[in-house]
Structure 1
Amino acid sequence: MLERSLVVSAPGKVILHGEHAVVHGKVALAVALDLRTFLRLRPGGGGSVTVRLPGVGVEASWDTPRLRALRSGCPGPPPPRPGTAAVRRGPSVEQLDTLREFAGITAESSAPESLATLAFLYMCLAISAKYGDVPSVDIIVWSELPTGAGLGSSAAYSVCLAAALLTACGAIACPLAEGESTARWTEEELSLINSWAFQGERVIHGNPSGVDNAVGTWGMCVFAEMSLVASRVPTLRILLTNTKVPRSTKVLVAGVKDKILKFPAIMNPVLDSINAISQECQSVLEAMPGNPSPEYYPVLEELFDINQHHLNVMGVGHPSLDRLCHVTASHGLHSKLTGAGGGGCGITLLRPDTSPLAVEAAKRDLCACGFECWETNIGAPGVTLHSSSSLKADVLHALSMS
């Protein structure tokens, strides 16, 4: 059992290229976003498990004997197979119903706080059932990621939980050495973290693709034909803009499918073109150094523009996203939607030589549209173990809440 505190973090994600086309067997590039979820775990001495999620209003504590009595009904997943998106077997309906009753969560509730609590209970019990006793721990989670924006916030939470609980139960090492600010796990340990994080995603989403938790674990991933491959991407500056326009991913995916069935001779070439865009972008990114010079950016910008037009043709654009692209173009910047479309979020590429004044002016104009805007990076590392000295002041403050 773990004898010292630990802090882990995992990134959110954006789809750089390939959204919707990936549903039809094409390549998608999913990239880690440098907005992160942080989890602090402290060993407890009181024979209880406490979890606090201030972002969704959860504060709960259970005695470890009560949890031990529950965990026989929560077997874990089989060992992960290298190169696969996720393990096959997940929590059963009966297991989740038992945990809902235990936590006082109604069967109809799909509120974020209910699902986050349910995922925590399942992962805590299933991991401890496989690797040892229920650990007596105090956990607090704080996130820079907005929820419900398609940025992988639930996966970042699940990845952090998996890494922390596996470490607490001794299933993986605690690799942070004395004097180090950050550390990462071995490839085998990352695969185990990913397989358990996928179980948390299954509790929350039912039938996730496995992309979000893989990005949270490894960073950039290439996803095609139900296979995930971790890859590298240089750090790129972006503006991330949330239009705050709600959308239904299910409805948008169904609309694209209907359009393909109605106009196959028109839409299939569009899907092929998006696939080629993803592959071309992947080639450019893999050729770029860690701190790329401006010469690489014209191709990336043109790919953004072409793909945004394709996504509009597919019917997943929205006037709010058109406005976002128009505003940023007026400042010489290139944007596209990311994720399901129909509103939601867009990303804007920033060159290394982009004027800070242009960036600030673009942010000001986007906020004037009623949007929420962050200047951040893509190409962030996956799940990471931190020393307290490596944390930013706001993160340290949030995780120091008593």
Structure 2
Amino acid sequence: MWERSLVLSAPGKVILHGEHAVVHGKVALAVALNLRTFLRLRPCDDSRVCIHLPGVSVRRSWDISCLQDLQKGFTADFDESKSPSVEQLDTLREFAGIAAGATAPESLATLAFLYMCLAISAKYGDVPSVDILVWSELPTGAGLGSSAAYAVCLAAALLTACGAISCPLKDGESTARWTEEELTLINSWAFQGERVIHGNPSGVDNAVGTWGGALRYQSGKITPLKRVPTLRILLTNTKVPRSTKVLVAGVKEKILKFPAIMNPVLDSIDAISQECQSVLEAMPANPSPEYYPVLEELFDINQHQLNVIGVGHPSLDRLCRVTASHGLHSKLTGAGGGGCGITLLRPDTSPLAVEAAKRDLCACGFECWETNIGAPGVTLHSSSSLDAEVLQALSQS
């Protein structure tokens, strides 16, 4: 039985540049968002596995002997390099009482937990008797990588509990991270969790959650940037729902209808991603204000391009106008058509301007967070390193 309590976290993500163009083989830059998902793992002394997800109203527990019997009944092997099989997922749905085709967050989160728990313990040891609570600063369904942060946290916690990776946090340390080899294993299992939830994910979100910083993604290849400064942003959720599938289809239709017009726009978006990568890698860890004008111009240009390809929305136009009235530069992030936008904050941006912008954005009915990007990936924490809100959330029984 795992005998030590631990707390770990993983970041969300935003797309800095390359939305939609990445579907057509262009470069996208994804960066770690320092709104995090936290997981508390405690040993359980009654031979049960417990999961509590207050954000989606899940509280479930199973007897270990039942899980072991279920595990032995599978004919297909569990492996971090293989997609979850239809048989495995159907069996787990039936076991958990989840309807076939259920897509509610609570159903998918429960299914991912069961799959990862059984798969990881099948490969690395007995099903651990643990009590897991997960709490997140990330809103669900907003394109901010909340499911990937959850999967990364689960992978790290379960691999640690099964002894597949170390517990690197030493007495007296506030935080610790795993070795590169261990992070690679965490990422592989987190990707399986993402497959349970999304079916055919790109792997970008779980990679950002694992390694943090920023990643370049192109045609299935994920490359961490050499050096990434931590940049302050406002993240704004317009709360306008949108369908990524419909927006992607709309862009494709425009490209087919006007290829001579649209393809150069995609090439220009690609050039912006690559220019932004060069700028970020040239910036120091704590950049001074003179480094920001190029990043601000790239935000402005890219936002216009995203409107041209048809993924803008009046709510996002309003967001950009509001922040521009305070001397700030914004763009949409993710699928567009509503959803979220990001606003760059220079080191010399006055606190009064930031508060005024936040006030005006909230007056529009939007939800707004002041945070940063370029955050660290999955991390172990001592209790002393956590703020009061996180500690309170994780103190739930």
Common fold: TM-score over 0.5? yes
Equivalent residue number for residue 255 of structure 2: 260
Task: Map 1:204-219; keep pairs closer than 5 Å.
Answer: 204-219=197-212
Which one-letter code corresponds to 2:108 in the other structure? L
Equivalent residue number for residue 89 of structure 2: 96
Equivalent residue number for residue 230 of structure 1: 224
**1:260 match: secondary structure:** helix
For residues 305-341 of structure 1, give each alpha carbon's deviation from its aligned partner in whole angstroms, at most 9, with x where no partner exists: 0000000000000000000001000110000000000
Q: Is the 8 A contact 2:41 2:132 kept in 1?
A: yes
Greater CA drift, 259-268 or 69-78: 69-78
Identical residues among aligned pairs (%):
84
Equivalent residue number for residue 234 of structure 2: 239
1:285 Cα shift? 0.5
Equivalent residue number for residue 64 of structure 2: 64
- List alignment gaps of at least 5 residues for structure 1: 79-86
1:193 aligns with 2:186: yes
Q: 2:77 aligns with which of 75, 78, 86?
A: 75
Once residues 181 and 261 of structure 2 are traced to their aligned partners in structure 1, the CA distance between those partners, rounded to angstroms, is 44
1:43 Cα shift? 1.2
Once residues 331 and 399 of structure 1 are traced to their aligned partners in structure 2, the CA distance between those partners, rounded to angstroms, is 37
Equivalent residue number for residue 286 of structure 1: 281
Once residues 6 and 94 of structure 1 are traced to their aligned partners in structure 2, the CA distance between those partners, rounded to angstroms, is 33
Equivalent residue number for residue 33 of structure 2: 33
**2:56 match: secondary structure:** coil
Once residues 292 and 75 of structure 1 are traced to their aligned partners in structure 2, the CA distance between those partners, rounded to angstroms, is 49
Q: Is the 8 A contact 2:215 2:223 kept in 1?
A: yes
**1:62 match: secondary structure:** strand
Q: 2:132 aligns with which of 129, 136, 139?
A: 139
Which one-letter code corresponds to 2:62 in the other structure? W
Equivalent residue number for residue 308 of structure 1: 303
Q: 1:377 aligns with which of 346, 360, 372?
A: 372
1:152 Cα shift? 0.3
State the superposition RMSD in angstroms: 0.9
Which one-letter code corresponds to 1:240 in the other structure? L
**1:374 match: secondary structure:** strand
Q: 2:112 aligns with which of 119, 126, 129?
A: 119
- List alignment gaps of at least 5 residues for structure 2: none
**2:19 match: secondary structure:** coil
TM-score for both structures, normalised by structure 2 = 0.98
How many residue pairs align between the two structures?
393
1:75 Cα shift? 3.0
Once residues 271 and 181 of structure 2 are traced to their aligned partners in structure 1, the CA distance between those partners, rounded to angstroms, is 32
1:336 aligns with 2:328: no
**2:55 match: secondary structure:** coil
TM-score for both structures, normalised by structure 1 = 0.97
For residues 289-308 of structure 1, give each alpha carbon's deviation from its aligned partner in whole angstroms, at most 9, with x where no partner exists: 11100011000000000000
Equivalent residue number for residue 320 of structure 1: 315
**2:41 match: secondary structure:** strand
Once residues 199 and 87 of structure 2 are traced to their aligned partners in structure 1, the CA distance between those partners, rounded to angstroms, is 14
1:190 Cα shift? 0.5
**1:193 match: secondary structure:** helix
1:159 aligns with 2:161: no
Once residues 274 and 315 of structure 1 are traced to their aligned partners in structure 2, the CA distance between those partners, rounded to angstroms, is 14
Q: Is the 8 A contact 2:79 2:123 kept in 1?
A: no
Once residues 376 and 79 of structure 2 are traced to their aligned partners in structure 1, the CA distance between those partners, rounded to angstroms, is 26
For residues 13-57 of structure 1, give each alpha carbon's deviation from its aligned partner in whole angstroms, at most 9, with x where no partner exists: 000000101111111000000000000101111100000000000
1:364 aligns with 2:366: no
Which one-letter code corresponds to 2:222 in the other structure? L
1:221 Cα shift? 1.0
Which one-letter code corresponds to 1:126 in the other structure? A
Equivalent residue number for residue 24 of structure 1: 24
Once residues 12 and 76 of structure 1 are traced to their aligned partners in structure 2, the CA distance between those partners, rounded to angstroms, is 27
1:92 Cα shift? 1.2
Which one-letter code corresponds to 1:263 in the other structure? F
Which one-letter code corresponds to 1:338 in the other structure? T
1:348 Cα shift? 0.2
Which one-letter code corresponds to 1:54 in the other structure? P
1:76 Cα shift? 2.6
**1:55 match: secondary structure:** helix
**1:14 match: secondary structure:** strand
Greater CA drift, 226-235 or 53-62: 226-235
1:93 Cα shift? 1.4
Equivalent residue number for residue 81 of structure 1: none
For residues 87-111 of structure 1, give each alpha carbon's deviation from its aligned partner in whole angstroms, at most 9, with x where no partner exists: 4x21111111111111111113211
Which one-letter code corresponds to 1:330 in the other structure? S
Equivalent residue number for residue 274 of structure 1: 269
